[in-house]
Amino acid sequence: MTEAHDILFDPFTLGDLQLPNRVIMAPLTRSRAKQPGDIPWELNATYYAQRASAGLIIAEATQVSPQGKGYAFTPGIYSDEQVEGWRKVTSAVHHEGGRIFLQLWHVGRISRPELQPNSQKPVAPSAIKPEGAQTFIDENSGMVDILEPRALATDEIPEIVEQFRRGAENARHAGFDGVEIHGANGYLIDQFIRSKSNLRSDAYGGSVENRIRFPMMVVDAVVGVWGGQRTGIRLSPTGTFNDMHDDDPVATFGTLASHLSASRIAFIEVVEDSFQGNELDGRPESVINAIRSGFTGAYIGNGNYTADEARSRINAGLCDLASFGRPFISNPDLPRRLSLGAALNEYDSNTFYGGDEHGYSDYPALA
């Protein structure tokens, strides 16, 4: 008797990279960079190497500049020490046969003066305080409210594009296989895209074409370093996390998807329906359809899916690959467990952010 075919474990060509399966490790902030300097180190290398059986690891959100930082202990990709630290990570993953992209990140307004150079105000498209948004600034303060940011001047925007370009270049030097641009979850690129957070009256605000101008400048800069085949972007078109909203997400993200398709990037990863909240009843299929129909590259679905839900959506043509977040935290060998239908380790949410190896690199693999 032959075994049933499992589409999750079909190989897939993502851009020009061959993946052995369609189980993607989603980017996961874990706040365990070495201090001072927000430098990746041996602990991070161990953690990612343990998860190298993923079809592709998308490493955690990594700030492209000191200004791009919004949470304590998150890694950067702008200093020589950070590049050397990330090289330890990529070498460890490659030694285990894995593939790893870096997620390039600027938080925009989701920060605090305590985390900014010279205690400056965080920057944003518009000076709008995100209601209910919080971050953590050190080990003792707990979660603290985000304050009102300052609006970027028009002539400052090209420098932030350059921060992303340099981050992409540094990711190459650090040995990554490609990069994903963080355009989701209410951070800077998402703040420009969506109508609630972007009230600008210059060339970067107003119409959809204007609101996606800065995101596409970032994409073009990163593609200039990596080529489209090794570049992707993460979007969360209907997520409400960090006080986000768009008046017409179908039009906004459909237009953006067409522009991204013209840039010939390899993939879009879409946060479809998750803990971040969602403004539409059920899954936002109308927005997903607008993105899928406008984009010719690969579509990675991220929706808190079980393995069976991921298989079903891939079989139905609703996504090409599925990215898994929290299950990868507690199951370093998640692909094997999904393949065997084995039980999953439970994760401990108390150890998600900050700390040492406990709740990080000490979850057991199957015997």
Q: Bin 315: left if φ > 0, else alpha if -120 < ψ < 50, else beta.
A: alpha
CATH: 3.50.50.60, 3.20.20.70, 3.40.50.720, 2.30.40.10. Which one for 7-342?
3.20.20.70
Residue 343 is encoded by which pair of tokens? 């039980």
Catalytic residues: 187
Residue environment code for 294-328, b if the CB has 16+ CB neighbours within 10 A, otherwise e: bbebbbbbbbebebeebbebbeeebbbbbbbbbbb
Give the start-to-end residue ranges of the domains of the chain: 7-342
Distance CA 149, CA 202 (A): 18
Q: Bin 279: left if φ > 0, else alpha if -120 < ψ < 50, else beta.
A: alpha
Per-residue pLDDT of the chain (367 residues; tens, 9 = 90+): 456 799 999 999 999 999 999 999 999 999 999 999 999 999 999 999 999 999 999 999 999 999 999 999 999 999 999 999 999 999 999 999 999 999 999 999 999 999 999 999 999 999 999 999 999 999 888 899 999 999 999 999 999 999 999 999 999 999 999 999 999 999 999 999 999 999 999 999 999 999 999 999 999 999 999 999 999 999 999 899 999 999 999 999 999 999 999 999 999 999 996 545 555 554 568 899 999 999 999 999 999 999 999 999 999 999 999 999 999 999 999 999 999 999 999 999 999 999 999 999 999 999 8
The secondary element (H helix, E strand) that includes residue 292 is helix 285-294
Q: Are 198 and 192 in contact (CB under 8 A)?
A: yes
Neighbouring-strand partners of residue 181: 104, 233
Neighbouring-strand partners of residue 324: 25
